[in-house]
Structure 1
Amino acid sequence: MTSALTEQLPIDLGDANSGAIVPPTQFSDLSFSFSVSQNIDDVEPVWRALEAQGIHSPGQSFDFIKLWVEARKIASNNQFYVVGYAGGEPIALLPLHRKAVKGVRLFTWFPGANVGAYAPLVDVDRLRQMSPTQRQALWKGMSRMLPSADLIYLRAVPIETANAGRLFDELGTLQPFETLYRSQYGSWEECDRLQRSKSRRKHDRQQGERLEALGEVSFEEVRSGPETTSIIDTMFTQRSARFKAMGIRDTFVVERLTDFYHQAAQPGTGVDVRLHVLRLENEIVAVRYNVVWGKAMYCLISSMSADPHIQGGSPGKQCLLRVMKSVFGEEIGEFDMGAGFTDEKRHWCNVQVPLSQHYMPLSARGAMVLATHQWIQRSKGKIKANKALMKALRRPIQLFNRVFCGPSDAS
């Protein structure tokens, strides 16, 4: 495998050689070697073996990322799949997209904020047994396999890995990011008992009655098939109306992402898409676009009708209530609602996962970008924590986004 990967290395990798063994004396009793490919199929066996140990989001799924690369038509010379080996056994995989953003050459995850969290694919037990110095050497060795650039930027990495502690602390420089919100229950009855007070149940019932007073209400789960096309079209139409009302750009349209979500919902992709659909008089009034992996369901997109006539019935909340009633049981034990705080997450989520951003500067410009980006993130955090300041800056920020923010500048 290593020799095959070596033949695919681009000519600008400098002195790094795919599969070269790091001298054991440098990293105590471990011998590291590394390989890199620009073809995702080359690393499929390694990826699937590491993925089988568990993932944090669809952003770590081989099928999801392969479809993303194909649907987004990402050139092979901008795809990099770096594998780290210990004693000849694969222990870590970094799938990276090379981009040029505002003149900065960087490596980052393939999707952006399209899923809640990302992380390297790793052999959890082997990584946990390493010392911090050894893990730092592993990540640095993997970074040296990449061609010249300014920065490795890895967003939304869980600070702790379940039952394994902080495995990614040595992955460059860390900056606290956001929080990921999840619901974990063994049954709907447990969820209902722990998350809904008597007043909450009464409020939900009253909203449901107002919606039902407008006509027949129905709810269903739709899986891959021809029906998904019209449902997803409606979902994006509802999202666009919501973005317009909020005065912000529609990233799904501007960045031409809608085709990917349509393709993912078709049979044979390996991505288990499930749409939860709420209808009023057979018209779609709310949709939730979910991906299932193992016993976890990840909500990637949600929408609801902007029709003021039905807002009193809160179709979005009624849809989510029915989702919560239907998902927990033998098959699904975890429902991931993504990063960032909202009322629905406050109402339903009993697990919070802190996320961090990781930076590995590869040049002087990259170090400067790191310092600037960290300052921006800290400033944003202070603004979000100050309601008066947030309110004062909301309109200037919306105006800035409309004037200056276009599609991602990626090469």
Structure 2
Amino acid sequence: MRAQMHHDATAFAEELPDVGHAVLNGKAVLDTPVGELALTIHHQMEPVEASWRELEADPWNSLHQGYDWCRAWVQTHDHPLAIVEGRLDGQIAFLLPLEIDRQFLVRRAQLVGSPFTNFNSGLFSAPFRQAAAAIAPHDLEALLIEALHDHADLLSLTHVPLDWRGERHPLAALPHVRNQNASFQLPLAATMEESIAPLNAKSRRKKYRAQMRKLDAAGGYEHIRPTQPGEQQSLLECFFQQKAARFAAVGLPNVFQPADTQAFFRMLLESDRGGSDVPLELHAIRLKGEYEGRIAAITGLSRKGDHVICQFGSIDDSLLPDASPGELLFWLVIERSAVSGAAVFDFGIGDQDYKRRWCNIQTEHHDILLPLRPAGRLAAMTHRGMARTKTLIKGNPHLYALIQRWRAMGTSGQPPAKTDD
């Protein structure tokens, strides 16, 4: 018997005892104006690898939902999986690679690796993205609730741009709230000069020349991108050390400290399958002369097609801070991205001064929050309230700066260091 899709999401959640009986042969099925949409839940990645790799090849889909990225996270973290496979008239339509994370007493079905993703889309076929608007939102909500309500209390898809590359997200009609953080992008042209033209190009070139003079005066530098596994891992360990010192200096918890997080990034470095798409590559400024062999700045980049995302960065505050090696490294990797055919350099989530200096595009992100059970309704309300409060705070620069100082002093007992890198 097919599900009766006439309830809204709230009513559906309140009538859960009747919902489970509508699942047929392990699938939640819905007749839509564009065909039969069937959802199946998988608890392992391997059964859907072929469909996964087919969908991830579409440039619209985020690299963070790529198979290798997710596999690195799954193999280093112990979270149950609930991968939603959607098929329209038997053809693969989408995959939502979800893991179940328990926060307090609430089970959240979230995209794999969400704590370290800058841009989430899920994986959708181009035909389904075009057809999705014909599916009634309350029907799609009810279908997802049918498929997932035995596995989690809340479907929580964070950092989702509802409009991306000229297309509306297929799940944009689901309940959502604006995320307090936007992402920042710089469109790239064929050359660095063309790429920085929309910015304050004269000021940028002047700063670049000043950085070069200061580094040359200290003996020079080289821009390195190690390709050997041992060199890559050594540079990643250097990043972990620099980042730990940096967080300690500003009085913030080190999100890169957990062993499973570090193992995840180590595995990403080993996941490069060749070609232009790269899960993670490291770049650094290595000094010569007075500071021979010392690493002044590091950044980690991912690339899919023409989209380059900066995943992280770090600097050594003790090495030529007046030369701003972190800013110089951004110049070098942006230039390299431009001449290699990338169309956008993405600094990712979070509003920081250096991103505003480099970028002329901001992309709003939203969090999709669909309660699956009564416990999820309260969690969704709490999430929305916190997101709106944080958005309000971040919209007031003076209040935001004050709260940052209070937080830093509460952790370290000292005012936070002020830097631009």
Provide TM-score, normalisation by structure 1.
0.86
The aligned amino acid for 1:199 is S
Deviations 1:66-110 (A, max 9, x none): 1211122x25xx111111111111211111111111221111112
1:367 to 357, 377, 391: 377
Q: Which residue of 2 aligns with 1:65?
A: 70
For the 8 Å contact 1:159–1:166, the answer to whether it is kept is: yes
1:101 to 96, 100, 103: 103
Q: Distance in 2 between matches of 1:265 and 1:276?
A: 12
Instruction: From the superposition, tell whether residues 137 and 48 of structure 1 become closer, same or farther in structure 2 (CA, over 3 Å).
Output: farther
Q: Distance in 2 between matches of 1:51 and 1:215?
A: 45
Q: CA deviation at 1:286?
A: 0.5
Instruction: From the superposition, tell whether residues 152 and 400 of structure 1 become closer, same or farther in structure 2 (CA, over 3 Å).
Output: farther
Question: Paired residues, what number?
Answer: 385
Q: Which residue of 2 aligns with 1:312?
A: 322
The aligned amino acid for 2:222 is S
1:144 match: secondary structure:
helix
Instruction: From the superposition, tell whether residues 136 and 92 of structure 1 become closer, same or farther in structure 2 (CA, over 3 Å).
Output: farther
Q: Distance in 2 between matches of 1:371 and 1:53?
A: 34
Identical counterparts, % of pairs = 25
Q: Which residue of 2 aligns with 1:292?
A: 303
Q: CA deviation at 1:32?
A: 1.6
Q: Distance in 2 between matches of 1:136 and 1:91?
A: 19
Q: Which residue of 1 aligns with 2:144?
A: 142
Q: CA deviation at 1:138?
A: 3.5
Q: Which residue of 2 aligns with 1:167?
A: 170
Q: CA deviation at 1:224?
A: 5.2
Q: CA deviation at 1:143?
A: 3.5
Does 2:285 align with 1:278?
yes
Instruction: From the superposition, tell whether residues 29 and 166 of structure 1 become closer, same or farther in structure 2 (CA, over 3 Å).
Output: closer
Q: CA deviation at 1:52?
A: 1.7
For the 8 Å contact 2:120–2:158, the answer to whether it is kept is: yes
Does 2:397 align with 1:392?
no
Matches within 5 A, 1:98-247: 98-131=100-133, 133-134=135-136, 136-146=138-148, 147-187=150-190, 188-223=192-227, 225-247=229-251
1:338 match: secondary structure:
strand
Does 2:314 align with 1:303?
yes
Structure 2 unaligned segments of length 5 or more: list them. 1-18, 414-421
Instruction: From the superposition, tell whether residues 319 and 330 of structure 1 become closer, same or farther in structure 2 (CA, over 3 Å).
Output: closer
Q: Distance in 2 between matches of 1:175 and 1:193?
A: 31
Structure 1 unaligned segments of length 5 or more: list them. 1-12, 404-411
Instruction: From the superposition, tell whether residues 173 and 214 of structure 1 become closer, same or farther in structure 2 (CA, over 3 Å).
Output: same
Deviations 1:351-373 (A, max 9, x none): 32211001011222211121122
Q: Which residue of 2 aligns with 1:9?
A: none
Q: Which residue of 2 aligns with 1:3?
A: none
Q: Which residue of 2 aligns with 1:262?
A: 266
Provide TM-score, normalisation by structure 2.
0.84
Instruction: From the superposition, tell whether residues 122 and 339 of structure 1 become closer, same or farther in structure 2 (CA, over 3 Å).
Output: same
For the 8 Å contact 2:73–2:264, the answer to whether it is kept is: yes
Q: Which residue of 1 aligns with 2:334?
A: 324
Instruction: From the superposition, tell whether residues 36 and 379 of structure 1 become closer, same or farther in structure 2 (CA, over 3 Å).
Output: same
Q: Distance in 1 between matches of 2:45 and 2:62?
A: 18
Q: Which residue of 2 aligns with 1:41?
A: 46
Q: Distance in 1 between matches of 2:199 and 2:227?
A: 28
Q: Distance in 2 between matches of 1:268 and 1:392?
A: 42
Instruction: From the superposition, tell whether residues 175 and 325 of structure 1 become closer, same or farther in structure 2 (CA, over 3 Å).
Output: closer
Instruction: From the superposition, tell whether residues 261 and 156 of structure 1 become closer, same or farther in structure 2 (CA, over 3 Å).
Output: same
For the 8 Å contact 1:240–1:250, the answer to whether it is kept is: yes
Q: Distance in 1 between matches of 2:141 and 2:339?
A: 39
Instruction: From the superposition, tell whether residues 136 and 278 of structure 1 become closer, same or farther in structure 2 (CA, over 3 Å).
Output: farther
Q: Distance in 2 between matches of 1:95 and 1:165?
A: 20
Q: Judge which range, 355-364 or 205-214, deviates more.
A: 205-214
Q: CA deviation at 1:267?
A: 5.9
Q: Judge which range, 188-197 or 275-284, deviates more.
A: 188-197
For the 8 Å contact 1:223–1:273, the answer to whether it is kept is: no
Does 2:391 align with 1:381?
yes
Q: Distance in 2 between matches of 1:18 and 1:292?
A: 39
For the 8 Å contact 2:282–2:300, the answer to whether it is kept is: yes
Q: CA deviation at 1:292?
A: 1.9
Instruction: From the superposition, tell whether residues 62 and 320 of structure 1 become closer, same or farther in structure 2 (CA, over 3 Å).
Output: same
**C-alpha RMSD of the superposition:** 2.5
Deviations 1:155-184 (A, max 9, x none): 000111323234322233333442121222
The aligned amino acid for 1:31 is E
Instruction: From the superposition, tell whether residues 399 and 193 of structure 1 become closer, same or farther in structure 2 (CA, over 3 Å).
Output: closer
